[in-house]
Structure 1
Amino acid sequence: MRLSIDVHLDYAFPEPADVLLQIEAAALPDQRIESESLVIYSDNPIRAVAGEEGIGQRCWARADQRLMADYRAVITVERPVVNLAQLAPTPVRLLPPETVGYLLPSRYCESDRFEHFVRRQFAGLSGGALAVALIDWVRGALEYSSAATQLRGGALTTFAERRGVCRDYAHLLVALARAAEIPARCVAVYAPGVDPPDFHAAAELWLAGAWHLVDATGMANSADMVRVAVGRDATDIAFMTIFGTAFLFAQTVVVRRLDAQS
């Protein structure tokens, strides 16, 4: 799958502020960057730093009155489709050390508050079969609602309200998976077919020795998502973190499928 990505950001700043951008696709074995360019319109120096887990890249910028950025890329995704339901469970004591942190609660994924619910609701399931059941439950239980962006809560709020946007779906799935002793992390992705078109949040679950991308909203599939960043929750994967105050002028994210390579 070949995808084109076109991002435009335009923000106003009443006072100078530092800004941490995270909008570049990550270079990974299952997603090859054919071409890309990032242009940040600023009179101040730009500094790149590595993202969480060494995946992707963040970019520090200094905003003074106005900050504009344009990112364009063509990415080839070569990621096989895996039947999660057939994957065996891994006892937590045998997990690799780099996954253990993704078993623990975080600010927006309060997994410790869901342990009783998971044990009761999904009794008798384990491994990939449990993961699929969790994904199906989240997809069926929630209503996608842009109005829910104003809630700005974590998985517990989403669980109570039964509605949310992509980050809320991701938070709830990640929290439930961690409560089920499956390492899980949030992932910022680009994906075609997202409605409304925007930066998108998905999840990755650790099963049978590998991370597996899943989108609980059902709008994207693992074969055509492009990872930007990974982390414990939305705090780590935000496309823009502003150390000050900003106002939106314009923001567009366009992801298109290109013709398959011959």
Structure 2
Amino acid sequence: MPTRLSIAVDLDYGLPEPADVLLQIAAAALPDQWIESEALDVWSDLPLAAVPGEEGIGQRCWSHAVGRFTARYAATLVVDRLVHPLHRLPPTPVRHLPGPVVGYLMPSRYCPSDKLEGFVRAEFAGLSGGALAAALTEWTARSLRYRPSGSTGTTTALDTFASREGVCRDYAHLLVALARAAEIPARCVAAYAPDVTPPDFHAVAELWLDGGWHLVDATGMASPAEIARICVGRDATDIAFMTVFGTAQLIAQRVRVDRLD
């Protein structure tokens, strides 16, 4: 059943020196989610310049400012997505993967999946395809404790595997790394979703199974049927909501996502 969402974002940062800023906060227009209305206002020294996001999903907006950088995004959108139970999806041999998907089998900066291959082989022997994906998701959800102070911006999936705690980004990184170690293509997704606590930008995983991408939230806070994608990528490097080429100081930030129906 379709879900209508209202999204409101306010960002307020201090920039002590002139800096270029790359924003990814606008929801993506996709076949399973469409925008009814939206507005993005950025107070910047120069006009915005938009470029496509990874895989052509969403957009990145270049800006430039000094002193104060503020941005406001408001949107109403509809999510209408058929969610398939993971455990019922058959495996896809890696040799049959489409070219653009193959890169999501490889280790990346925050998802060093090659370091987890031995664990996956030992812990999940005999499983494949969707059954394996479901088991990896359940293990991640069961093994980690959600703790806002449990990680930093440099925490990798391997660090999270050792500490067994973190925030949504850490859950997504670990699940993506485990899936890649299991020869299941996986990517990170920046998203909006209701019921996320505390309200903020959310990070989830997408796994490639049976010829398509399937959203998975190992934190259990968001239903795949209600997640609105912003952008996708290898890990947090690609999906950060704001990348500052310089220094920035947080003044205030607010993200609110509400169901309308």
TM-score > 0.5, shorter chain as reference: yes
Q: How does 1:94-133 map to 2 (within 5 A)?
A: 94-133=96-135
> Following the alignment from structure 2 to structure 1, what is the Cα–Cα distance between the partners of residues 8 and 16?
27
Q: Which residue of 2 aligns with 1:11?
A: 13
State the distance in 2 between where 1:129 and 1:97 align: 24
Task: Tell me, in whole angstroms, the C-alpha distance in 2 between the residues paired with 1:202 and 1:235.
Answer: 14
Correspondence for 1:190? 192
**Selected match of 1:210 from 202, 209, 212:** 212
Q: 1:21 matched to which residue of 2? A: 23
Cα distance, 1:151 vs. partner?
6.5
Aligned equivalents of 2:119, 2:25: Cα separation in 1: 36
In the alignment, the residues of structure 1 paired with residue 152 and residue 60 of structure 2 have an alpha-carbon distance, to the nearest angstrom, of: 26
Q: How does 1:66-85 map to 2 (within 5 A)?
A: 66-85=68-87
Inter-partner Cα distance in structure 2 for 1:43 and 1:245: 16
**Match status 1:165 vs 2:186:** no
For 1:2 and 1:126, the matched residues in 2 are separated by 35
Shift of 1:153: 1.3
AA in 1 matched with 2:140: V
Amino acid at match of 2:182: A
After superposition, the CA RMSD in angstroms is 0.7
**CA distances 1:85-139 after superposition (whole Å, capped 9, x unpaired):** 1100000011111110000000000000011100100000000000000000000
Identity of aligned residues (%): 68
Name stretches of at least 5 consecutive residues in structure 1 with no aligned partner. Answer: none
Q: Distance in 1 between matches of 2:139 and 2:87?
A: 14
Q: Which residue of 1 aligns with 2:143?
A: 141
In the alignment, which residue of structure 2 is the partner of 1:52? 54
Q: Which residue of 1 aligns with 2:250?
A: 248
| Equivalent AA in structure 1 for residue 230 of structure 2 | V
Q: CA deviation at 1:148?
A: 1.5
Query: In the comparison of the two structures, how many residue pairs are matched?
Result: 259
CA displacement at 1:12 relative to structure 2: 0.6
* Other-structure match for 1:181: 183
The Cα shift of 1:61 comes to 0.4
Q: Which residue of 1 aligns with 2:34?
A: 32
Question: How far apart in 2 are the matches of 1:38 and 1:151?
Answer: 26
How big is each residue's C-alpha offset from its partner over 1:200-250, in whole Å with a ceiling of 9 and x where there is no partner? Answer: 000000000000001010000110000000000000000000000011111
Report the counterpart of residue 63 of structure 2 in structure 1: 61
1:4 Cα offset (Å) = 0.3
The CA distance in 2 between the partners of 1:46 and 1:76, in whole Å, is 26
- Helix, strand or coil at the partner of 2:29: coil
Query: Runs ≥4 in structure 1, deviation > 3 angstroms?
Result: none
> What is the CA–CA distance in structure 1 between the aligned matches of 2:47 and 2:213, rounded to whole Å?
36
Using the TM superposition, give the Cα deviation of residue 84 of structure 1 relative to its aligned residue in structure 2, in angstroms: 1.1
TM-score for both structures, normalised by structure 1: 0.98
Paired amino acid for 2:14: A
> Using the alignment, how far apart are the partners of 1:180 and 1:59 within structure 2?
35
Unaligned runs of 5+ in 2: none
Offset, 1:152: 2.8
Which stretch shifts more, 218-227 or 145-154?
145-154
Cα displacement (A) at 1:46 = 1.0
Q: What letter matches 1:73 in structure 2?
A: A
* TM-score with structure 2 setting the length: 0.98
Does structure 1 conserve the Cα–Cα contact (< 8 Å) formed by 2:151 and 2:165? Answer: no
Separation in 1, partners of 2:128, 2:78 = 33
